[in-house]
Chain A
């Protein structure tokens, strides 16, 4: 086991290596000793690291992640509803290092110099690279809704990044007063996991139906429509009649202010009180992307989807929730698909080859109960005319399809998808 310090001294030469990357000759005769740094050990980053090694085992691939463990957002709604223990969300990097030879570096990437090709860590050590892949996920726009900042999220959790927030919301749901109201405030587009708030509503109702049957789940939405809408509305009505209510922006207007102490949401046309308040705030690209100047005025990262290279810094690639890859939704599955295209392109570009056209899929299940799931699917390709991705095919679970079959496939999918990412 190599320690972080040994690693930095050995591989990067610590501070003495500052600037070395910029001087490194760009040979065209193979990828030997070319270093690719991957920032962010979630679904996108881990897939990218693994597929880089599959594409070219000679590449030196370094994965930087804040902690030795990663807590999965997919599956966290099931934990909140008590269907799965929290331990099921823990992911580790052993397979990645042992089987594929990816080096891991635990620490926070706090800065990135795209011109000099250096990433800086929280302890001020730095690491030069030939190319970097950022998979930083999302950050919250804390100032967007008055009264809802990071501090307020400790009372009214967002639970939109897994961990302590997931646990807090799970506990609050369990201690909801008999006949009380849970309110989910759903964010404006674009955001991580478009069906997520609605899956959460259904699974909360699943829990409450058994333990607190007079309770209600209210979704106060800042949108007028949502992902898999007809399937969700149909399912809630079938499984939890009268328990789940969706209040669209068309009847409420904008969220204006949130009183986290009294758990009241003030909208343009009214106010809503809750006993448990789950606020999912508006989002933007993870902070390293913003710090490195890779976001545009939307707050997300513009990329060329043939390589996921930033249109603002060609040696830096951004994948996953942080990048703009419309019409693909922001999901772990999409991040996995971005990562494969990106890893292939990075290996090709470092070897002086044209990566060729990309091919991507998104496929996501949402549970409404342990034996009831629905799904949404899209196949995407590059359109030179549009200069971006287009959907070659899309679809959802047909309204008359068997939800139990979907649930069985969803379980198999969860397992296989984890294996493709974390090994």
Chain B
């Protein structure tokens, strides 16, 4: 019994973690604008526009491939579903005026 509980707990904690509700697209996107300006020309790329599949593929690449890039450290902090939400949000921004 005790042993089972001991084994069970981390699994439960992990699934609890998995089930945490995810922030909405705009909430996820807002911190990004602190570096990725919507207006300033920069060596840091703009996020608006572009196909969703490209953004998602790029984030997965950052996450999975160890690089010196800051984006490796950042991409690891999000889940696949977050990438999808962000991709949709940034594509739709293309229609909106610069903030």
Contacts and interface: CB of A to CB of B under 8 A. Distances in A.
Interface of A: 51, 54, 333, 336-337, 340-341, 344, 356-361, 363, 375, 377-385, 391-398, 401-402, 405, 408-409, 412-413, 415-417, 419-420
Contacts of A340: 30-31
B3 interface: no
A235 B73 CA distance: 21
Nearest to A377: B73
Given A356-B21, A359-B23, A375 B70 contact: yes
Contacts of A341: 27
Nearest to B30: A340
The CB with the most chain A CB atoms within 10 A, among B20, B23, B73, is that of: B73
Q: Counting chain A CB atoms within 10 Å of each CB, which of B13, B17, B20 scores highest?
A: B20
A414 B76 CA distance: 23
Interface of B: 13, 16-17, 20-24, 26-28, 30-37, 39-40, 42-44, 68, 70, 72-78, 99
B93 to A, nearest CB: 13
Contacts of B73: 377, 379, 393-396
Nearest to A398: B68
Contacts of A416: 34-37, 40, 42, 44
A243 to B, nearest CB: 27
A51 B76 contact: no
Contact of B74 (A379, A385, A415, A419): A379
B96 to A, nearest CB: 11
A321 B75 CA distance: 26
A357 B42 contact: no
Shortest beta-carbon contacts, A-B, top 9: A379-B77, A395-B73, A393-B77, A416-B37, A393-B76, A392-B77, A401-B68, A361-B31, A359-B23
B23 A377 contact: no
A94 to B, nearest CB: 16
B20 A337 contact: no
Contacts of A54: 99
Contacts of B13: 385
B43 A381 contact: no
Contacts of A396: 73
Given A356-B27, A363-B70, A393-B74, A409 B34 contact: no
A394 B70 CA distance: 10
24 contacts: A337-B31, A340-B30, A340-B31, A357-B20, A357-B22, A359-B23, A360-B31, A361-B31, A361-B32, A361-B77, A363-B35, A378-B77, A379-B77, A380-B77, A381-B23, A383-B20, A392-B76, A393-B74, A393-B76, A408-B43, A409-B70, A415-B37, A416-B44, A420-B33
A415 B42 contact: yes
A397 B73 CA distance: 9
Of A361, A380, A391, which is in contact with the most chain B CB atoms at under 10 Å from its CB?
A: A361
A361 B78 contact: no
A340 B28 CA distance: 10
B63 to A, nearest CB: 9
A361 B73 CA distance: 11
Contacts of A357: 20-23, 27
A409 B44 contact: yes
